[in-house]
């Protein structure tokens, strides 16, 4: 049977609160440029925004927050910027993991993060393991993630199963595909936000966003905070979601 979008979890004073919010965190470089700072300063400020927004999401009762931290296309950036980003990932894990454990947050990573350096892979694996038993909200971080590659991997795995005779192609439906996605254990995506004024999905959660509400804001990511997230959730709560019906 094909999977159907799950209902929104709860109703707040301003309307419905999404169960699953995803954010394309864009604008770090422009934030730094406006202040005549190096790009790494924008990325550092972006880490502060991650802390603010993840805490705000927990306080609002959002079940899952997915952040686009490093795309499969980001490898095209200059080597020194990639190195800075990897360093900031290490800093964030070491400094914030205890808080995630304490707040009962379960960390999930989507994407092929094992392409990163071995020490960073170990840090990520340890962080996932330390939060695996947590039962509270999910923080999913997209690392070396690309939605087209994700879908190609799903198609490849299903084709291999069919060739072995383990799968009847006639039984392949949307539910089976969704069970093979990186986000298989996350709630259906309700709201996708992109900061910085860009109006595109940039290869992020293309399948999952099929019936998500999209919100594009001019705010640069380092300036995004709990109030901005609350505004986005309020806008979401005012929208009517029909999922193809009337």
Let me know if 134 is a catalytic residue.
no
Instruction: Identify whether 68 is part of a domain.
Output: yes
Structural domain count of the chain? 1
Determine if residue 207 is labeled as part of a ligand binding site: no
Cα 208–chain centre separation: 11
Let me know if 144 is a catalytic residue.
no
Determine if residue 46 is labeled as part of a ligand binding site: no
Instruction: Identify whether 213 is part of a domain.
Output: yes
pLDDT category of residue 241 using cuts at 50, 70 and 90: confident
Q: Write the pLDDT tens digit of every residue in 9-32.
A: 454 445 689 999 999 999 999 999
Instruction: Identify whether 106 is part of a domain.
Output: yes
Instruction: Identify whether 32 is part of a domain.
Output: yes
Residue-level pLDDT at 240: 83
Taking residue 123's Cβ as centre, other Cβ atoms within 10 Å add up to 18
What is the DSSP code string of 59-85?
Answer: HHT-SEEEEEEEETTGGGS-HHHHHHH
CA 65/CA 53 separation, integer angstroms: 9
Determine if residue 39 is labeled as part of a ligand binding site: yes
Determine if residue 71 is labeled as part of a ligand binding site: yes
Determine if residue 72 is labeled as part of a ligand binding site: yes
- Asked if residues 45 and 4 have their Cβ atoms less than 8 Å apart, the reply is no
Q: What is the CATH number of the domain that holds 57?
A: 3.40.1180.10
Q: Write the pLDDT tens digit of every residue in 27-83.
A: 999 999 999 999 999 999 999 999 999 999 999 999 999 999 999 999 999 999 999
Active-site choice (63, 74, 185, 225):
74
Furthest CA-CA distance within the chain: 60
Q: What is the mean pLDDT of residues 211-238?
A: 97
Q: Which domain holds residue 131?
A: 16-145+188-237
Instruction: Identify whether 3 is part of a domain.
Output: no
Active-site choice (26, 84, 182, 190):
26
Instruction: Identify whether 159 is part of a domain.
Output: no
Instruction: Identify whether 169 is part of a domain.
Output: no
């Amino acid at each position: 049977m094909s999977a159907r979008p799950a209902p929104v979890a709860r109703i707040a004073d301003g309307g419905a609160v999404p169960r699953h919010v995803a954010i394309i965190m864009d604008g770090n470089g422009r934030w730094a440029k406006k202040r005549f700072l190096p790009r790494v300063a924008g990325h550092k400020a972006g880490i502060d925004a991650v802390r603010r927004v993840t805490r705000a999401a927990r306080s609002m009762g959002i079940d899952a927050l997915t952040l686009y931290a490093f795309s499969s296309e980001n490898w095209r950036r200059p080597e020194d910027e990639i190195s800075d980003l990897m360093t900031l990932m290490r800093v964030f894990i070491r400094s914030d993991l205890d808080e995630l454990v304490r707040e009962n947050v379960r960390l999930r990573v989507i994407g092929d993060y094992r392409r990163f350096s071995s020490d960073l892979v170990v840090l990520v694996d340890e962080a996932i393991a330390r939060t695996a038993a947590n039962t509270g909200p999910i923080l999913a971080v997209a690392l070396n993630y690309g939605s087209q590659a994700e879908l190609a991997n799903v198609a490849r795995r299903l084709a291999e199963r069919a060739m072995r005779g383990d799968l009847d192609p006639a039984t392949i439906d949307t539910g089976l595909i969704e069970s093979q996605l990186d986000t298989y254990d996350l709630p259906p995506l309700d709201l996708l936000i992109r900061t910085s004024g860009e109006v595109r999905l940039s290869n992020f959660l293309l399948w999952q966003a099929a019936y998500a509400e999209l919100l594009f804001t001019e705010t640069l990511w380092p300036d995004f905070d709990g109030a901005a997230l609350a505004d986005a959730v309020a806008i979401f709560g005012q929208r009517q979601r029909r999922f193809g019906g009337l």
